[in-house]
Structure 1
C-alpha cells in the first residue's frame, strides 16, 4: 500500500534477489469449508485515500456516482497513523495526520452523499461523515480504518514491542476509531463523534521483521510481536463488541507482502490467520519504475518472478486458508521512459520513471486508458501471464485493464479465494469501469 508508493522503489529493487519461481497451474478447488466456493459472497475491498479529496478531488460521493458503492463489501480508509509513543492519533500535523480531511472539513450539498450541506455545528464532517452517510445508503457496506501504510508504519515495531505497549496501542485505536472519541477541533469531534463509522481495523504494517520505508523501525522479534499484536486487537475488539451487545463482530484484517522472505521474516501465518478475518495480498508493485529495466508489475502468472499466483501459493503453503486470501489488484500503472532495445518494450533498459500526473512512474488507470485510446500507444497483452502494458516506442506503462482484471476475478473463483482488493478507488474511471469488471467477473457473468 502507499502513502507514498515512491518509497518502495529502492526496496523493490533490492527484493529481486528474493524471487522464487512459480509456474501456471489450473484451479485447485482448494477453498476451505464455508469459503466463497461454498456460496459465501466474495469480499470486494477498496481503499479510499484520505488525500484524494484534494488534488484528485475524489470525494466519498463519487463512489455513489460511479456505481462502486453498491458493488463493494468493504472500504478501507487510508490511513491512520501511529505516534512515537505508540498510540493511534489524529490532528492537523503536515505529513503525519489530517483531521481536517478526516472529520472537520465541511462539504457542500453537491459533494455530499445525502445531498445536504454540512452545518457549522455538527460534530462530525469531512470524510468520516460522508462514509457514515454512504453506509446509510448501503447497509451491508463495512468501513475499516487502515493503520500504517508505507510512510506511516514508522512506529509500529515500537508499539508492538511489549505486552503493555500492545495493550495501550490497541486501546488507543479502539478509543479513536471504534468508540469514535475524536479530539475536539472547534465544533468538530468530541466523545463518540465518530461512533459507528468504522466496522473494524485493517493492519497495514510495512513490514514486520524486514525493511520498509527509510525511517521505519524493524526488529527480528517483530514476527512474534505482530502475532501478539493481532491477538490483542482481536481480544479487545471482541470484548468491546460484547460490551455493546453488538450483533456482529468488529472485523480485523491485514495487508501482507508477496516476497517469501518478507512473509517468513514477519508473519507466523498459521497463528495470525486464526485471529484475522482475512488478509489482503500484495498483488502489485512486483516491479516498479525505479528499476533499470521495464518489467511487469502485477502479472497473474510469471515463471521465475513474482506473480499473483505465486503470492497465493506462498501464503497457502504456510497455512493460510484459501477463503481468507483476498487478491490485491492495482487501479494504476508503473511506467518507464527512455526505453531502448526495441520489440514490445518489455524487459528492456530504461532511462527512468515516466512523467505522470501525480508522481513520476505512477499513473492512474483513468489516465492510462486515455493513452491507450489516443492511438499513440500500442496495447500489448501476455494472455498466458495475465498482464498488459502500453508502449509507444519510448515510454512503457504496465497496468491492469478490464481484460486483466476479469482474468484475475476468474482466478479468484477457480481457486475459491476470498475475493478482490483494489488500490485505490480514486484511480478508476468516472463510470467505475474497473470496479464493474471485477464485480462481473466474480459473479461469473
Structure 2
C-alpha cells in the first residue's frame, strides 16, 4: 500500500507521528497481484484529518465485490466514510461496497473517502494491517521496490476560472509502474491523481490571484520523485455575477432538493439548461442530517439520508452538466459532483449545504444545548463539508478538494423553542442556544478562513410566524454573525386546515378566517423591530402551490375562504403540487389579489393557491419597496423547463 501524505499548513506544528512503512497482516489467501489499494492522506486539522483509499484493478476482469480490512493506531478513528459502508469493532475496520454497488472495472480504480479524528497530542493515523479480500493491500508480499519514479515534466496550466486552475503534465516512468501524481503548492499537496491521469484541477482558489505549482510522481511502494519544474498561473477575475452582492444587493437564492432527482426528475443539469443558474447567486443544497449524538453525518438508509443521490449516482452524458458521463473510477459522482460542474460553468455561484430542514431538525435542540455539544456539531459539519475532505473528481480521474463543492453553511433549524415536525425536540432555552450556536459557527468559520485563505458564508432559513420569531431568535444578536438570512414566505396556510386560504400573501387579507392571520408585511416588520437590517433579509417565495377539494364557490364564486372536504390530489403528496404542473391545469379559472401578491385557481370544486410569473413580479416589487436583500425560492424543482418563475424574479429585480 503506497502512502503519499500531505499536511495543511496550519496543522504542520502538530508534528504527527506516522509510520514510515505500513504494517500488513499475514494474508489468509494468495495475494492477487493485480489488485492493490492505495492510501492517501489529505488535509489535517486540529482534531482530525481526511484520507482516501483507492482500489486499483490492473487485471483483465472487473472486481465485482471486495472487502478491505485494517486497523488504526490508538487515538485515531474514522468518523464518516463515503462511497463505501464501514463497520468498526475494537479498532478494526471493515469496508465493503455501498448498497448501490461499486465494481472496480478492469484497468480502472475506485475511490473511498473518509474523515478521521485523533486524540490530543502526537497521534499516528496510518492504517495498519490493510488487506483486500484477505490479501495485503500492496498486492502481494512486501515489495523490494526502492526506486522512485522519474520527475514529471511538461507541466502547464491549461485552463483557469475565478476559483480553479487546470494543470497537465507529461507522464513519468518507473521500473515497476507509476501509481499516481501529486500537485504541490507551497510544499503541500493541493491535488492528487491515481493511475495514469496526468491532469488535475486545483480548486478553492481566490479570483485574480497568482499561484505556483509543481508535480511529483509516486509508485505503489510509496517512493516519490522530486518535484518537477514549477509553473505559475493566475486565476481569472471574478465576473461580478456576485455570489455575495454586498449589503443592499439583490441575492437570488434557490434550494436544490436531494430527492428532486427522483419523481420530479429535476437534475442539477436542469438548473443550467433552464437558464436558472445564470440568474442565481446562491444554491442551498437540502439537506444535511444531524445524528442523535449531535454531529453532521451522511447515510444511505430511509429516513436518515441518501448518500447515493449525494455522491454515488452516476449520471450519463445526456444528464450531466458538462456533457460527459460519470465513470466508476470517479471519486465523486452524484449531485455533489454535478454541483461542482455547475460552479465550474457559472463561477459566480455560491453553493451552501443546508443543515436540518423540517424532518432533520429533530436533534438540533440537543446538539445546541451546551458549549461542548455546539463545538462538536459545528466542527463535524465543517470537517465533513468544508475542509476539502470530500474528494472531487477532475477531468481525468484525479482528486482535488471538496471545497470546490460547498462555500458555506445554511442553518435550517425548524424551529428553535417552537414546535416543528412532531418528532422534533424543542426547549425554551433554544432561543439563547441558537444565538450561541450561530456564534460557534461564525467563530469556527473565521478560523477556517484564516487557515485556508478564503471566505465561507453563513446563512439561515428563519420562520415567518411572529410568535416563532419572538420565541426562537435573539434577532439583533444573531444577525451580526450571518451574511444574510432567508425568511419563510410560504406555508401560511395549507390543507392541514379545512378552510381554503392563501399560502404566501404579502399583506393582510380582509376576512381572513385564520387560524393564523399574519402576512409577509407583519413577518418582515417583526424582524426589523427586533434589530434586523432589511438589506440582510431575503424573502422566500414558493415554486409550488397548496390545494383543497370539495370546495364550494362561496359568495364571490371563487372558492376563497371556504370549507373543504380535504386535500386536493397531488402527484407527490396530497395537498401540494409544483408550478410546472399547476400552470397546465385545464378547466380552472385564474383569480388574483394584486395587493397581496397572490393568485389562485378554482374549477368549482378544487382550489389551488399558487404563484405564477405575474405573482412573482408582484412579490419582487414589494420586496424591493421594503429594501429587502433579495429573493429565495423553495424549491427549484417546482419551476418549469424554461425557468419561467426564476426568469420573472430576475427580470423584476433588474427592473426589466
TM-score relative to the length of structure 2: 0.59
Residue of structure 2 in register with 1:360 after alignment: 574
Residue of structure 1 in register with 2:645 after alignment: 434
Task: Kindly indicate whether the alpha-carbon contact (under 8 Å) linking 1:286 and 1:297 is maintained by their aligned counterparts in 2.
Answer: yes
SS at match of 1:85: coil
Residue of structure 2 in register with 1:250 after alignment: 456
* Alignment of structure 1 residues 159-198 onto 2, 5 Å: 159-182=367-390, 194-198=402-406
| Residues 1:333 and 2:539 aligned together | no
1:310 to 516, 522, 535: 522
SS at match of 1:220: coil
| Residues 1:408 and 2:619 aligned together | yes
Residue of structure 2 in register with 1:84 after alignment: 292
What number of residue pairs does the alignment pair up? 400
SS at match of 1:84: coil
Change (3 A) 1:254 1:38: closer
Task: Kindly indicate whether the alpha-carbon contact (under 8 Å) linking 1:78 and 1:145 is maintained by their aligned counterparts in 2.
Answer: yes
1:265 to 465, 471, 477: 471
2:311 to 103, 112, 130: 103
Of the two structures, which has the highest relative contact order with CA contacts closer than 8 Å and spacing of 6 or more?
Answer: 1
Deviation (angstroms), 1:195 = 2.8
Deviations 1:110-152 (A, max 9, x none): 1110001111111111000000000011111000000111000
Task: Kindly indicate whether the alpha-carbon contact (under 8 Å) linking 1:37 and 1:416 is maintained by their aligned counterparts in 2.
Answer: no
1:314 & 1:220 partners in 2: Cα distance?
19
Task: Kindly indicate whether the alpha-carbon contact (under 8 Å) linking 1:341 and 1:349 is maintained by their aligned counterparts in 2.
Answer: no
| Residues 1:351 and 2:565 aligned together | yes
SS at match of 2:583: helix
Deviation (angstroms), 1:384 = 2.1
Deviation (angstroms), 1:196 = 2.1
SS at match of 1:150: helix
Deviation (angstroms), 1:272 = 0.2
SS at match of 1:195: helix
Deviation (angstroms), 1:245 = 1.4
Considering fraction of residues, name the structure with more strand: 2
* Alignment of structure 1 residues 45-444 onto 2, 5 Å: 45-182=253-390, 194-246=402-454, 249-303=455-509, 305-342=517-554, 343-371=557-585, 374=586, 376-444=587-655
Deviation (angstroms), 1:333 = 0.3
2:402 & 2:298 partners in 1: Cα distance?
13
Residue of structure 2 in register with 1:13 after alignment: none
1:92 & 1:192 partners in 2: Cα distance?
24
1:425 & 1:38 partners in 2: Cα distance?
23
2:246 & 2:409 partners in 1: Cα distance?
26
| Unaligned stretches of 5+ residues in structure 2 | 1-243, 393-397
SS at match of 2:359: coil
| Unaligned stretches of 5+ residues in structure 1 | 1-35, 185-189
2:568 & 2:261 partners in 1: Cα distance?
24
SS at match of 2:599: strand
Task: Kindly indicate whether the alpha-carbon contact (under 8 Å) linking 2:418 and 2:426 is maintained by their aligned counterparts in 1.
Answer: yes
SS at match of 1:370: coil
Deviation (angstroms), 1:180 = 4.0
Task: Kindly indicate whether the alpha-carbon contact (under 8 Å) linking 1:123 and 1:193 is maintained by their aligned counterparts in 2.
Answer: no
Structure 1 residue ranges, 4+ long, deviating more than 3 angstroms after superposition: 36-41, 190-193
Deviations 1:277-307 (A, max 9, x none): 1111110001011101001100111147221
2:435 & 2:568 partners in 1: Cα distance?
39
Task: Kindly indicate whether the alpha-carbon contact (under 8 Å) linking 1:181 and 1:192 is maintained by their aligned counterparts in 2.
Answer: no
Deviation (angstroms), 1:39 = 8.4
SS at match of 1:283: coil
Deviations 1:343-388 (A, max 9, x none): 21000000010001111000000111001xx2x0000001222211
- Shifted more, 91-100 versus 229-238: the winner is 91-100
SS at match of 1:100: helix
Deviation (angstroms), 1:67 = 0.2
Deviation (angstroms), 1:323 = 0.4
Deviations 1:47-77 (A, max 9, x none): 0000011111111000111000000000000
Choose 1 or 2 for highest CA Rg: 2
SS at match of 2:360: coil
Residue of structure 1 in register with 2:113 after alignment: none
Deviation (angstroms), 1:321 = 0.5
Task: Kindly indicate whether the alpha-carbon contact (under 8 Å) linking 2:249 and 2:535 is maintained by their aligned counterparts in 1.
Answer: no
TM-score relative to the length of structure 1: 0.87
Task: Kindly indicate whether the alpha-carbon contact (under 8 Å) linking 2:251 and 2:629 is maintained by their aligned counterparts in 1.
Answer: yes
Task: Kindly indicate whether the alpha-carbon contact (under 8 Å) linking 1:124 and 1:193 is maintained by their aligned counterparts in 2.
Answer: no
